[in-house]
Amino acid sequence: MPPLVGVARTGALPTGTSSCGPIPAHVAIIMDGNGRWAASRGLPRAAGHKAGAEAVTRCLRAARANGVDYLTLYAFSSENWRREPSEVADLTGLLKFYLRHKVSELHQEQVKIRFVGEVGRFGADLCAEMARAEALTAGNTGLTLLLALSYGGRSDIVQAAQALARAAQRGELDPGLIDETMVSRHLLTAGVPDPDVIVRTSGEHRLSNFLLWQSAYAELVFLETLWPDFDGDCFARVLDIYGRRERRFGARPA
């Protein structure tokens, strides 16, 4: 397995399980490296995206097995629309396939599905599939899976600010009463706790416009592993790293 960045390795962990320690309620992942994975094997980028979709299944299984309550996956950023039309078509086609053929399995496993982002940009057919998935799984009581699609952290903050401004303009809100809690309630992730840990694969060390407000006190973990190679052992190592961190939220150490 490729090494973790900036973390001393302490020996192998059992497959798909974490060491003893606190389990994060919310894990958010920037899934990166599909293209490089495919290029290293002489395959088209579409093959990398397909392999990445299979890694999502492994990741979701590991999250459920370890008692994580919320899993957010950065599946398609607002900037991804700038990619070649053929690649965008491959990504949206893959998304449509999984929505049509995999949602029932997730429903049986009590997974609740939620989409965050400017999903209307994907067109009526795909929006209908997303609405169907959300409606079907709305009453489930297991892990909540948030898929960030056409999502950007800055635009998320902007739309929250606009909503608050409109409320103030209508006389429904005193601008002087706007606080962090109120802003959070107007974000696309309203009702979901901020992520405890944000993971990025493929060796890149940046957030790339992902959950900028929500990540204020998240632990950051960067893996060299390319996303299509992500598995239960990788998830367990993330939990192990998280369990060794001391979270003070700005307070002085005891």
Active centre residues (catalytic): 32, 80
Q: Is 81 annotated as a binding residue?
A: yes
Q: Report whether 239 contacts 24 (CB < 8 A).
A: yes
Q: Is 227 annotated as a binding residue?
A: no
Q: Is 248 annotated as a binding residue?
A: no
d(C-alpha 171, C-alpha 243), whole Å: 46
Q: Is 215 annotated as a binding residue?
A: no
Q: Is 121 annotated as a binding residue?
A: no
Q: Is 118 annotated as a binding residue?
A: no
Q: Is 132 annotated as a binding residue?
A: no
d(C-alpha 189, C-alpha 184), whole Å: 8
Strands 219-222 and 26-30: unpaired
Q: Report whether 212 contacts 187 (CB < 8 A).
A: no
Residue 183: partners with Cβ closer than 8 Å, 6 or more residues away: 157, 160, 161, 164, 213
d(C-alpha 139, C-alpha 122), whole Å: 25
Q: Is 77 annotated as a binding residue?
A: yes
Q: Is 49 annotated as a binding residue?
A: yes
45-65 vs 85-101: helix crossing angle, rounded to 10 = 40
Q: Is 33 annotated as a binding residue?
A: yes
Q: Is 200 annotated as a binding residue?
A: yes
Distance of CA 54 to the CA centre of its chain: 15
Contacts by residues 38-46 (CB-CB < 8 Å, ≥ 24 positions apart): 45/87, 45/90, 46/87, 46/90
Burial of 172 (0-12, 13-18, 19+ CB in 10 A): exposed
Q: Is 61 annotated as a binding residue?
A: no
- Token readout for 243 is 């369990």
Q: Is 180 annotated as a binding residue?
A: no
Residue ranges of the binding site for substrate: 33-37, 45, 49, 77-79, 81, 83, 200, 206-208
Residue ranges of the binding site: 32-37, 45, 49, 77-79, 81, 83, 200, 206-208, 219
Residue ranges of the binding site for Mg(2+): 32, 219
